């Protein structure tokens, strides 16, 4: 056995999902409604010329494949879907969902094909899923493929989010297929061929809220119970054997995990862009990276998704309430499992977990040791206002706030107070008159509050820099990597992957990647706006 064969054979396929849950009795891979089934077996399309672009070494090690890829051609063949390994049992999942607030019926894995589940040496279960490997019975009007630009964004963001400490699905690899894919990026009649690509996504489970909704909507109660029981036994074993009481505990845990997830999004300035119920993970993971975006200037109303431009349903500031709305839809789908009112405590738990967690998180971002109800509610409310009255870079503002010396009693004038933060403002001329005075007044209150905590400048800076990243995957950075990659230059992908591995650290050689969004990126497609086209 060669070293290459040994590396790929390290994948120990178990495939519990397809062994234990009801499957689609039909084997034809054509678009159709699939009933009373959790999945359909389907094979990826064999692409013409798979080409290895990048992999995440941490994910590779997690799967027992080792840090380095020994044979990139063999690896690309497998993780593009062209070649099969012994033990693989590929399938696409059936689920439904609410899209932009409306029930959409059956959705399912339209461009995702699961290669199977592997169990690593540590006993951890991981599902390997290819995004962009061809059509499935759930592809509806789509072709099941993905283009290079969206695949780069998903690959980089999955790993950037992980290293930021945000719960997320992971990305093992990025492979170009060698086949063109026709896309109309902004649905404006200007379709063109783009290079195709496949990302291998990795998660303990890709089960979503919509996985239960489809059975609830169709009154397929036997399948609903089978999936719920399987999920509890596999992913929530600490809760015990499924019962009405355990269903309630399980839902409450989903609610709390979801609250914690959204708090992390708000902490780092991430906007998911498409918070449909089919894009909500039952494990509280960030899932399905499409038209997501990062706040450059702080704007609670901003959404990167052009489809959502009019209503802004999934805007940054609305994510907490949308997550709750989605949980209500999940609770409705689960009602056949228990008597009326059983899941209400879970929804209450979401509110409690989010409210307390958000205050704790914001106190940490501001360098406070604890949240003080008497003073900090006002400080936070005014902060959210001053961040928007002048165009303020969210990431830089909080990072620079760690350098603001709250213990310096000589720092009293407006100029002195604003000096440490000037780098965070996009248009310095906006820092005048009433706006300038209002920000300075907030800084005086903040300075007094911060000094009350005591400690040292260094302790406070270290505490703040643990939660306020210096590096995030700004939209324009990803777009630059995409434009280079479309010319055959993958160096920026590797560079960004390396930088995002240490987002909280000072990286003296990479300061340019921590700068504000440049003017050319303000209104550029891919930097300010994105579509669901991938």
Q: Give the C-alpha separation, 524 to 479, whole Å.
A: 10
Dihedral of alpha carbons 225, 226, 228, 229, sign? positive
Q: What is the CA radius of gyration of the chain?
A: 24
52 and 172 Cβ atoms separated by less than 8 Å? no
34's tokens: 């699939």
Long-range contacts of 380-388 (CB under 8 A, 24+ apart): 382/442, 382/445, 383/442, 383/446, 384/300, 386/438, 386/439, 386/442, 387/298, 388/298, 388/299, 388/300
530 Cβ contact list (under 8 Å, min separation 6): 273, 290, 291, 292, 293, 304, 305, 306, 475
Would you call 392 helix, strand, or coil by DSSP?
strand
Looking at the DSSP assignment, which residues form a beta bridge with residue 145?
133
Strand boundaries in 34-124, DSSP class E? 39-41, 51-55, 91-93, 96-99, 102-106, 112-119
First CA to last CA distance, the chain = 39
Rounded distance between C-alpha atoms, residue 305 and residue 310, angstroms: 10
Please provide residue 41's backbone torsions phi and psi, each rounded to the nearest 5 degrees. -75, 135
How many other CB atoms are there within 10 angstroms of residue 203's CB atom? 19
What are the percentages of helix, strand and coil residues in the chain, rounded to 5? Answer: 45, 15, 40
Residue pair 57/171 in contact (Cβ under 8 Å)? The answer is no
Query: Residue 326: what are its φ and ψ, rounded to 5°?
Result: -65, -40
Q: Is 488 left (phi over 0), alpha (psi -120 to 50) or beta?
A: left
Taking alpha carbons only, the member of 483, 475, 473, 480 closest to residue 194 is 483
**Active-site residue among 24, 109, 229, 278?**
278
Given a contact cutoff of 8 angstroms between Cβ atoms, the answer to whether 273 and 302 are in contact is no
Catalytic annotation on 188? no
Q: Count the Cβ atoms, other than its own, within 10 Å of residue 456.
A: 9
Token duo for residue 216: 């609830």
Question: For the CA atoms of 314, 320, 324, 327, what is the dihedral angle to 10 degrees?
Answer: 70
CA dihedral sign, ordered 199, 203, 205, 207: negative
Q: Which are the catalytic amino acids?
A: 278
């Amino acid at each position: 056995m060669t070293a290459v064969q040994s590396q790929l054979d390290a994948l120990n396929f178990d495939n519990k999902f397809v062994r234990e849950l009801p499957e689609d009795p039909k084997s034809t891979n054509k678009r159709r409604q699939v009933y009373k089934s959790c999945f359909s077996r389907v094979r990826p399309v064999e692409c013409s010329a798979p080409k290895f672009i990048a992999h995440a070494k941490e994910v590779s090690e997690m799967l027992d494949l080792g840090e380095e890829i020994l044979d990139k051609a063999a690896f690309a063949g497998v993780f593009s879907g062209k070649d099969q390994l012994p033990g693989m049992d590929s399938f696409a999942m059936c689920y439904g969902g609410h899209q932009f607030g409306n029930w959409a019926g059956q959705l399912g894995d339209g461009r995702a094909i699961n290669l199977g589940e592997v169990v690593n040496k540590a006993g951890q279960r991981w599902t390997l899923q290819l995004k962009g490997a061809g059509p499935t019975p759930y592809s509806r009007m789509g072709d099941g493929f993905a283009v290079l630009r969206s695949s780069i964004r998903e690959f980089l963001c999955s790993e950037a989010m992980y290293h930021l400490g945000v719960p997320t699905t992971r990305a093992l690899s990025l492979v170009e297929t060698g086949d063109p894919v026709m896309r109309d990026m902004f649905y404006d009649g200007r379709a063109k061929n783009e290079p195709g690509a496949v990302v291998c996504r990795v998660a303990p489970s890709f089960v979503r809220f919509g996985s239960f909704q489809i059975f609830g909507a169709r009154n397929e109660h036997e399948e609903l119970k089978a999936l719920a029981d399987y999920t509890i036994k596999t992913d929530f074993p600490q809760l015990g054997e499924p019962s009405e009481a355990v269903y309630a505990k399980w839902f409450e845990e989903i609610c709390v995990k979801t609250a914690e997830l959204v708090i992390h999004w708000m902490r780092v300035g991430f906007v998911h862009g498409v918070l449909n119920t089919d894009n909500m993970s039952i494990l509280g993971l960030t899932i399905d990276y499409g038209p997501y975006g990062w706040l450059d200037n702080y704007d609670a109303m901003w959404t990167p998704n052009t489809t959502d431009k009019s209503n802004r349903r999934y805007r940054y500031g609305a994510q907490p309430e949308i997550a709750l709305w989605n949980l209500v839809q999940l609770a409705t789908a689960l009602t056949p499992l228990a008597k009326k009112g059983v899941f209400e405590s879970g929804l209450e738990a979401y509110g409690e977990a989010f409210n307390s967690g958000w205050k704790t998180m914001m106190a940490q971002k501001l360098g406070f040791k604890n949240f003080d109800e008497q003073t900090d509610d006002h400080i936070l409310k005014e902060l959210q206002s001053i961040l928007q009255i002048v165009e303020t870079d969210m990431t830089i503002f909080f990072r620079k706030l760690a350098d603001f010396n709250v213990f310096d009693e000589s720092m009293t004038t407006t100029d002195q107070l604003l000096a440490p933060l000037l780098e965070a403002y996009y248009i310095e001329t906006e820092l005048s008159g009433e706006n300038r005075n209002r920000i300075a007044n907030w800084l005086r209150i903040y300075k007094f509050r911060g000094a009350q905590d005591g400690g040292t400048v260094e302790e406070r800076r270290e505490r703040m820099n643990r939660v306020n990243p210096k590096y995030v995957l700004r939209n324009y950075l990803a777009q630059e990597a995409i434009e280079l990659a479309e010319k055959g230059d993958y160096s920026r992908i590797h560079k960004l992957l390396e930088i995002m591995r240490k987002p909280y650290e000072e990286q003296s050689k990479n300061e340019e990647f921590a700068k504000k969004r440049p003017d050319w990126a303000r209104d550029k497609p891919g930097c300010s706006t994105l579509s669901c086209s991938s």
